[in-house]
């Protein structure tokens, strides 16, 4: 690529609508331009980065046993009606109708299309497993498109779908994809965590989000400082040690006038917040006896609503905190003084932390009164217990004996998920097993945001002057800078190196513009290409050139005869045996 002939419209200033650094820098480096909210043009340099990300994804998906195909962006409503999603997907789904008045949508994802394809073609277990993927444009009418490519409305996704004959097969495919994802993000040079994510009703550890760690991430990533445990904040668990075990004298009811918060109650009753049992009343929004649920948790901990929803199953779907009049009626007492002792007519679910408590304190279901010396199991039945707790930084790691949890921000770049038979059952997608019996396919789905991955790389790798691309996804490996293109010696040397470097498989952006050297160096920093080879009069005379690293700004003098080898070696090293 000759800079003078390439469309790289760089900007000095940040665009006014950009909030995060990747958005600012991609616009300033002439990689993207906005067309409408969340809809972008990808300019040549940006498109090269996208191409690199896609290529790594392709290679590793192939290694993981998946095959590439291509499905349409436009999808007929009938398939979405069959899966039941036409009615529930909501406003993110861009719907339209054709000239005959038939309904269509632009695909935000492709489970329906692929399930329809496979059910039409695959008859026997002998044709399984099958793992298919595409790299394609999606449309989701996001409420708040923002952050450039990070949350667009039109965006490029790699989406893959697997079909297996049984659970064991589906799990093996899932593990292969998990490994492929590790290789993909490692090759891109990203600092990432594979976190256990909430897999709703499916259970088990069959949903992982791949998170690039960056301060601007929209998600919390909980991970261990010592072992490889990592989970998103909706799913994370921790080791919470109980307060010291004590003899629990007979239950007492005491006046606690005007004390409300956990801290106030603990102080007033000369105990600690971790000996309090909080009682929260939730409304499941259903009719009948099971409508209200009392949730018990230790005073110093918080309920994680996603865990609660999953624990409650079908009752969790429309969960809200109960209204005050309902709380008063159910507990027979005042709001703020609820407790499990004597509570009747509601489902009670206790967090695990409550089961270990001794000599505890609870609300007495009367205004301004609490019970002390409460022993769970003795003074109220300990029925259902579950992990409902929100993990916190500093908590013990649930996996290893010594580690502590930390919470960092992350950007979700990929998501793998075991779907089970959700779509195959809804859409009657079946095959014949060895006994000749119809069975639904056991499915999995695997997504990667291609543009979001490129943007996440910038969030993680940049400095005050511009982008710092890892070699594997940089738009070029080296910028060959003709420091003064008026000089014939510089021009001749640079032209020769341009040819020789490319012969060695090095991707070169040859800055052959009639600009000042300072301008070229500033653009080199903005574009974030990992290396710059500076060709100036002095170097040509001396017989050695400066090779500059974008990452740390360091320069080394390289003898003219070694320059091509040195650059090619550096590129090869950085790519770790892949490509180059």
Footprint of ligand ATP on this chain (CB under 6 A)? Answer: 109, 140, 142, 151-152, 155, 157, 412-415, 447, 449, 451-452
Burial of 490 (0-12, 13-18, 19+ CB in 10 A): buried
Nearest CA-CA partner of 310 in 196, 210, 234, 401: 234
Cβ-based nearer residue to ligand ATP, 415 or 550 = 415
Q: How far is the CB of 415 from ligand ATP (least distance, A)?
A: 4
Cβ-based nearer residue to ligand ATP, 151 or 548 = 151
Q: How far is the CB of 358 from ligand ATP (least distance, A)?
A: 42
Q: How far is the CB of 456 from ligand ATP (least distance, A)?
A: 8
Cβ-based nearer residue to ligand ATP, 30 or 152 = 152
Cβ-based nearer residue to ligand ATP, 219 or 537 = 219
Cβ-based nearer residue to ligand ATP, 198 or 507 = 198
> How far apart are the C-alpha atoms of 428 and 116, rounded to whole Å?
9
Burial of 51 (0-12, 13-18, 19+ CB in 10 A): middle
Cβ-based nearer residue to ligand ATP, 210 or 431 = 210
| Residue 453 CB-half CA count within 13 A | 34
> How far apart are the C-alpha atoms of 57 and 472, rounded to whole Å?
12
Q: How far is the CB of 440 from ligand ATP (least distance, A)?
A: 22
Q: How far is the CB of 109 from ligand ATP (least distance, A)?
A: 6
Q: How far is the CB of 232 from ligand ATP (least distance, A)?
A: 10
Residue found under tokens 């916190």: 392
Element (H, E) at 45: helix 44-63
* CA distance between the termini of the chain: 16
Q: How far is the CB of 204 from ligand ATP (least distance, A)?
A: 18
Element (H, E) at 26: helix 21-28
Q: What is the 3-state secondary structure (H, E, C) of 282-337?
A: EECCCCCHHHEEEEEEECCCCECHHHHHHHHHHHHCCCEECCHHHHHHHHCCCCCC
Q: Which two tokens stand for residue 563?
A: 């320059």
* Residue nearest ligand ATP, Cβ-based: 449
Cβ-based nearer residue to ligand ATP, 234 or 351 = 234
Q: How far is the CB of 193 from ligand ATP (least distance, A)?
A: 14
Where would I find the H helices in 392-474? 422-426, 450-460
Cβ-based nearer residue to ligand ATP, 157 or 361 = 157
Q: Is 96 helix (H, G, I), strand (E, B) or coil?
A: strand
Q: How far is the CB of 299 from ligand ATP (least distance, A)?
A: 32
Question: How many CB atoms are located within 10 Å of the residue 133 CB?
Answer: 27
> CA angle at residue 46 from 499 to 530, to 5 degrees?
55
Cβ-based nearer residue to ligand ATP, 142 or 178 = 142
């Amino acid at each position: 690529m000759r800079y003078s002939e390439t469309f790289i419209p760089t900007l000095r200033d940040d665009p006014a609508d950009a909030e995060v650094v990747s958005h600012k820098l991609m616009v300033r480096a002439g990689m993207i331009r906005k067309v409408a909210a969340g809809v972008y043009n990808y300019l040549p340099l940006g498109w090269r980065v996208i191409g690199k990300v896609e290529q790594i994804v392709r290679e590793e998906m192939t290694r993981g046993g998946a095959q590439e195909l291509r499905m349409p962006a436009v999808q007929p409503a009938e398939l979405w009606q069959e899966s039941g999603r036409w009615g529930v997907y909501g406003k993110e789904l861009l719907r339209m109708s054709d000239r005959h008045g038939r309904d269509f949508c632009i695909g935000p994802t492709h489970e329906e299309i692929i399930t329809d394809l496979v059910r039409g073609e695959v008859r026997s277990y002998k044709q399984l497993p099958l793992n298919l993927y595409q790299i394609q444009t999606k449309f989701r009418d996001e409420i708040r498109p923002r952050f450039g490519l990070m949350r667009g409305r039109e965006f490029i996704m790699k989406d893959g779908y697997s079909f297996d004959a049984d659970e064991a097969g589906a799990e093996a495919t899932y593990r292969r994809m998990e490994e492929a994802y590790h290789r993909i993000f490692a090759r891109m040079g990203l600092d990432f965590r594979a976190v256990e994510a909430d897999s709703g009703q499916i259970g088990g550890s069959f949903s992982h989000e791949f998170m690039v760690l960056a301060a601007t991430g929209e998600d919390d990533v909980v991970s261990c400082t010592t072992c490889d445990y990592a989970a998103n904040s909706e799913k994370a668990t921790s080791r919470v040690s109980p307060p010291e075990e004590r003899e629990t004298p007979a239950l007492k009811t005491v006046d606690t006038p005007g004390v409300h918060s956990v801290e106030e109650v603990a102080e007033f009753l000369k105990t600690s917040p971790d000996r309090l049992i909080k009682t929260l009343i939730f409304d499941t929004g259903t009719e009948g006896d099971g409508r209200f649920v009392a949730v018990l948790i230790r005073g110093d901990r918080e309920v994680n609503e996603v865990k609660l929803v999953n624990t409650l199953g079908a009752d969790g779907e429309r969960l809200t905190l109960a209204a005050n009049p309902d709380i008063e009626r159910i507990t027979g007492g005042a709001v703020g003084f609820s407790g499990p002792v004597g509570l009747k007519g509601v489902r009670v679910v206790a967090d695990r932390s409550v089961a270990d408590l001794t000599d505890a304190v609870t609300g007495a279901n009367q205004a301004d009164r609490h019970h002390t010396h409460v022993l769970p199991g003795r003074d109220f039945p300990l029925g259902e217990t579950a992990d409902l707790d929100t993990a916190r930084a500093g908590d013990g790691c649930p996996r290893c004996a010594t580690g502590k949890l930390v919470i960092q921000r992350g950007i979700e770049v990929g998501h793998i998920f075991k779907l089970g038979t959700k779509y195959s059952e809804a859409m009657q997608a079946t095959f014949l097993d060895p006994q000749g019996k119809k069975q639904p396919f056991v499915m999995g789905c695997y997504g990667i945001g291609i543009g979001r991955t490129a943007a996440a790389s910038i969030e993680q790798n940049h400095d005050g002057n511009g982008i710092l691309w890892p070699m594997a996804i940089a738009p070029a490996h080296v910028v060959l800078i003709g420091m003064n293109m008026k000089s014939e010696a510089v021009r001749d040397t640079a032209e020769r190196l341009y040819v020789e470097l490319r012969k060695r498989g090095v991707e070169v952006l040859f800055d052959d513009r009639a600009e000042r050297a300072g301008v070229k160096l500033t653009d080199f920093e903005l574009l974030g290409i990992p290396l710059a080879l500076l060709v100036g009069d002095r170097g040509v005379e001396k017989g050695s050139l400066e090779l500059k690293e974008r990452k740390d700004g360091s320069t080394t003098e390289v003898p003219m005869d070694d320059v091509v080898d040195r650059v090619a070696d550096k590129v090869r090293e950085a790519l770790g045996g892949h490509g180059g």
